[in-house]
Structure 1
């Protein structure tokens, strides 16, 4: 067990019960408002995971943006959420005979031909699926911070090492970035653990809601437990924050994906450290964060 484990044990029963039966109206102790993170950029207002969405987040004044990283057939890292290109590009029109249009089955050059903006609105026609290199350069241009999700790592062996290499090449593994401008997260505990082992200085997050009993194991390799807002409660947040992570600080909780004021106020009341949102302006107005 880690430091603060005694406190965690004390709150474990509360966390287990409250995670299943949240206490109506329960409010955490007074604290700073949570960070607000623009999900896939400001994706309610510009096509998700595009440079335009980064720009929109910056225009709205948001310091943190979140993105998703996957890999092309020829080994380029690109920023896109789905493992298929079909929902957010015109791939079916450009390459009609190549269903199911998986990212891993297309080269970077082929993906660069696709329109990743028209589906969202004509004003964004011609937007492209950015490479990770292009994306981090735009984030850096705006002096923003990045919550990077390694998506579907089981499809892309070695993607953790490759992601860290791109970040390193772009200057994102220097002390200022690692100290406060970068978090790498995944739904895969193995992927998060791999990132921590490859580059222990990098802050990491696990996407999900592990049981309180599992938290000591997670605290070995992740700095955050990032659950859906549907599974979070005051007791669970308190239980997570009672553990100390690999960098000697209490584990944090970033919850997702919150797009309305009432939910934002509720999860802020639980004491979460961050709220990930497609409508970060709505959340900021509700919790006075950002």
Structure 2
């Protein structure tokens, strides 16, 4: 059973599935996360917000326009803010892949075809609850069992999961998850409380890392729970990353790759602070960061970074 403390203790190098693995299917869905798990990702990253009726749901954007069919289902409810929809309404929507992995890539980027999915949300949950069997190799045999994920077919429309469902799936897989707190500013205190309550109820404290760009959120997390691990997300270069992490009583630093410097990684590692950077989609770049001493990278393409034979047990050391 994996726990987050192993990241600092092992001095290993982990690959995280960004929103479940965005090149594998619709982001922040259980189906895509399952594929990220099966290809060998050490953990997955998700985003959480509150629905109109106060339920933590897994979605990144503040609106539903990019990643769901809300404009079609609810054409008169523009601009489709997440917090204006109830849990039931959100669950009625279909999730879709609209990230630009095909068509015209950014300069220097190779277009990547989004892979079709194998499992529906119901089939994943039913299998994990022991109600049915997945028509696929046992996830315990990963990685390698799903090297040809692009050949798999989706059996139903993917939908927005609740945080409870995402944590429950992660727990049953004995996996790890990084939960990023997002959402409307005035909702964040309640979101923090609801998130921590779920983590505690499902006995997931050792396997959840809570992160945010908002320091007030992180201070609130720590004031309410002294054991859950915290990650400090930063978009820009930080003059003293070690002090920042210590001020928040956090576990890890989560810097954007474009602003990460080798000296900052060295200082964090000397202080025993794991560095988890985002978003890294190139294998050569991942190896370079591993050489710097980065503890983990979060990737849209975990299946490419992990390779055919690497597993959680034989992940390389830096």
TM-score between the two structures when normalised by the length of structure 1: 0.79
1:238 equivalent in structure 2: 266
> Is 105-114 or 148-157 further displaced after alignment?
148-157
SS of equivalent to 1:98: coil
Structure 1 pair 190–210 and aligned structure 2 pair: CA distance change class (3 A) = farther
Q: Kindly state the Cα deviation for residue 282 of structure 1 after the two structures are TM-superposed.
A: 1.8
> Is 37-46 or 205-214 further displaced after alignment?
205-214
How many residues get paired? 248
Are the counterparts in 2 of residues 116 and 129 from structure 1 also a CA contact under 8 Å?
A: yes
2:89 equivalent in structure 1: 110
Q: Kindly state the Cα deviation for residue 59 of structure 1 after the two structures are TM-superposed.
A: 1.5
Q: Kindly state the Cα deviation for residue 252 of structure 1 after the two structures are TM-superposed.
A: 1.3
Note the 1:154-173 alignment, pairs <5 A.
Answer: 154-158=185-189, 159-173=191-205
- RMSD of aligned residue pairs (Cα, Å): 2.3
**What is the distance in 1 between the residues matched to 2:217 and 2:308?**
34
Structure 1 pair 210–195 and aligned structure 2 pair: CA distance change class (3 A) = farther
2:275 equivalent in structure 1: 253
1:266 to 264, 281, 288: 288
2:246 to 186, 209, 219: 219
SS of equivalent to 2:192: helix
The gaps in structure 1 that reach 5 residues or longer are 1-30, 244-249
Structure 1 pair 233–210 and aligned structure 2 pair: CA distance change class (3 A) = closer
2:256 equivalent in structure 1: 228
Are the counterparts in 2 of residues 73 and 105 from structure 1 also a CA contact under 8 Å?
A: yes
Q: Residue by residue, what CA displacement relative to the aligned partner does 1:234-262 show, whole Å, maximum 9, x if unpaired?
A: 1111122333xxxxxx2110000101112
Note the 1:98-177 alignment, pairs <5 A.
Answer: 98-117=77-96, 123-124=153-154, 126-152=157-183, 154-158=185-189, 159-173=191-205
Structure 1 pair 118–214 and aligned structure 2 pair: CA distance change class (3 A) = closer
2:59 equivalent in structure 1: 80
SS of equivalent to 1:262: helix
**What is the distance in 2 between the residues matched to 1:205 and 1:46?**
26
The gaps in structure 2 that reach 5 residues or longer are 1-9, 99-113, 118-152
Structure 1 pair 217–56 and aligned structure 2 pair: CA distance change class (3 A) = closer
SS of equivalent to 1:162: helix
